[in-house]
């Protein structure tokens, strides 16, 4: 018996967006150039110092092929927030994680009906769903990193908070770094640094479940040997004198030195991007100590077991 034909029924064709690629031609769209690589790019301090009050994004979206909004890396957006004394800036990103480092100045942030006071050297992180008003009591510059680009790519908004508002006073951060430097065999380590962590993210030992944050010192005449990882580093330079720089390259030789490196000279309160998978080493030939503050999406990579951090062998 023939099936009955339901009058008015239409057969939907769901194949309009289907595409097919031969495996070897499409398995590596980064290597083939179909997806742009993360650029090695600098953000000079003059760009944010020229602004009295406002948000100055470190926007590489055009180079990344990102069309949905500003981005510094595929997953993260770094910006500088400038606030003149007595003025304010409002932020309300669609993000799971916000990290602020106070480059200069002092002020307060009103969030969730409370007020957080901050000063030069402090860090603080805000979870999803925060609408904040930042006010300066002294001319202020904040380095601000969020995971907005990642959420835009996924087409999602946060459904809950993964950590609480957390403040890391600059004085305490420096005390922790001093203790690291004073420990036996400190100079034998690849770097002198403190990693920031929030208690709910002890699994990854990162400052949020997405973001990783380090406060590191580069002593006089020090060379931090080459290393690499699959997370993008949004590096903020702290205090430094001319003669501090980073060498970046795709490979190392049998002595653990970077082959054909590109040199990135440091500038205080400036930022630069270290792309994933590239070897990089920090050098201080300035005669004065220097500080570096890398922010990465290494919380996410650590959870995915894809960070793949590697260190060059010790110099002989």
pTM above 0.85, yes or no: yes
Residue 1 above 80 pLDDT? Answer: no
pLDDT of residue 251: 97
Note the pLDDT tens digit of each residue in 52-80: 999 999 999 999 999 999 999 999 999 99
Q: Token pair for residue 105? A: 């100045």
**Residue extents of the structural domains in the chain:** 42-311
Average pLDDT (19-40) is 95
Q: Which long-range contacts (CB under 8 A, 24 or more apart) does 132-135 make?
A: 132/90, 132/91, 132/92, 133/88, 133/89, 133/90, 133/109, 134/81, 134/83, 134/88, 134/89, 134/90, 134/91, 134/107, 134/108, 134/109, 135/83, 135/86, 135/87, 135/88, 135/107, 135/108, 135/109, 135/110
Residue written as tokens 């790519």?
153
Q: Report how far residue 135's alpha carbon sits from residue 133's, in angstroms, rounded to the nearest whole number.
A: 7
Note the pLDDT tens digit of each residue in 133-185: 999 999 999 999 999 999 999 999 999 999 999 999 999 999 999 999 998 87
Average pLDDT (212-221) is 97
Residue written as tokens 């770097």?
191
> What is the average pLDDT value for the chain, to the nearest integer?
95
- In this structure, are residues 258 and 315 in contact, taking their beta carbons and an 8 Å threshold? no
Burial 164-185 (b: 16+ CB within 10 A, else e): ebbebebeebeebbeebeeeee
pLDDT of residue 142: 98
Q: Report how far residue 4's alpha carbon sits from residue 192's, in angstroms, rounded to the nearest whole number.
A: 77
Residue 207 above 80 pLDDT? Answer: yes
Average pLDDT (239-252) is 98
pLDDT of residue 5: 53
Count CB atoms within 10 A of the CB of residue 84: 16
Model confidence band, residue 197 (pLDDT cutoffs 50, 70, 90):
very high
Q: In CATH terms, is domain 42-311 a member of 2.60.120.10? A: yes
Note the pLDDT tens digit of each residue in 172-193: 999 999 999 998 877 777 789 9
Q: Is 43 exposed, middle or buried (0-12, 13-18, 19+ CB in 10 A)?
A: buried
Cβ contacts of 306 within 8 Å, gap of 6 or more: 230
Q: Report how far residue 22's alpha carbon sits from residue 42's, in angstroms, rounded to the nearest whole number.
A: 38
Note the pLDDT tens digit of each residue in 89-128: 999 999 999 999 999 999 999 999 999 999 999 999 999 9
pLDDT of residue 155: 97
pLDDT of residue 10: 72
Note the pLDDT tens digit of each residue in 277-299: 999 999 999 999 999 999 999 99
Q: Which of 205, 197, 236, 298 is nearest to 45 (CA)?
A: 236
- What are the residues facing 142 on neighbouring strands? 81, 102
Q: Report how far residue 220's alpha carbon sits from residue 284's, in angstroms, rounded to the nearest whole number.
A: 6
pLDDT of residue 2: 56
Q: How far is CA 151 from CA 73, 157, 162, 210, in A?
A: 13, 6, 15, 11
Q: Token pair for residue 202? A: 């002890």
């Amino acid at each position: 018996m023939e099936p009955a034909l339901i009058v008015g029924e239409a057969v939907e064709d769901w194949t309009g967006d289907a595409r097919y690629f031969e495996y070897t031609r499409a398995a590596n769209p980064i290597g083939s150039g179909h997806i742009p690589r993360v650029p090695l790019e600098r953000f000079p301090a003059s760009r944010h110092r020229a602004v009295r009050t406002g948000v100055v994004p470190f926007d590489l979206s055009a180079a990344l092929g990102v069309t949905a909004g500003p981005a510094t890396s595929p997953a993260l957006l770094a910006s500088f927030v400038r606030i003149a004394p007595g003025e304010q800036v409002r932020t309300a990103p669609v993000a799971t994680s916000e990290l602020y480092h106070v480059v200069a100045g002092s002020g307060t942030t009103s969030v969730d009906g409370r007020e957080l006071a901050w000063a030069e050297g402090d860090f603080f992180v805000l979870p999803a769903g925060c609408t904040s008003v930042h006010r300066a009591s002294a001319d202020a510059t904040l380095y601000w990193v969020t995971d907005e680009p990642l959420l835009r790519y996924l087409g999602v908004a946060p459904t809950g908070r993964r950590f609480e508002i957390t403040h890391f006073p600059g004085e305490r951060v420096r005390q922790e770094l001093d203790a690291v430097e004073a420990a036996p065999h400190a100079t034998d380590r690849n770097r002198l640094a403190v990693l920031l962590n929030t208690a709910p993210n002890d699994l990854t030992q990162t400052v949020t479940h997405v973001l990783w944050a380090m406060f590191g010192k580069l002593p006089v005449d020090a060379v931090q040997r080459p290393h690499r990882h699959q997370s993008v580093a949004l590096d903020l330079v702290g205090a430094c004198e001319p003669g501090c720089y980073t060498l970046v390259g795709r490979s190392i030789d049998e002595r653990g030195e970077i082959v054909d490196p590109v040199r990135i000279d440091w500038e205080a309160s400036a930022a630069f991007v270290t792309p994933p998978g590239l070897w990089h080493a920090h050098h201080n030939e300035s005669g004065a100590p220097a500080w570096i503050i890398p922010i990465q999406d290494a919380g996410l990579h650590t959870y995915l077991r894809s960070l793949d951090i590697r260190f060059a062998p010790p110099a002989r």
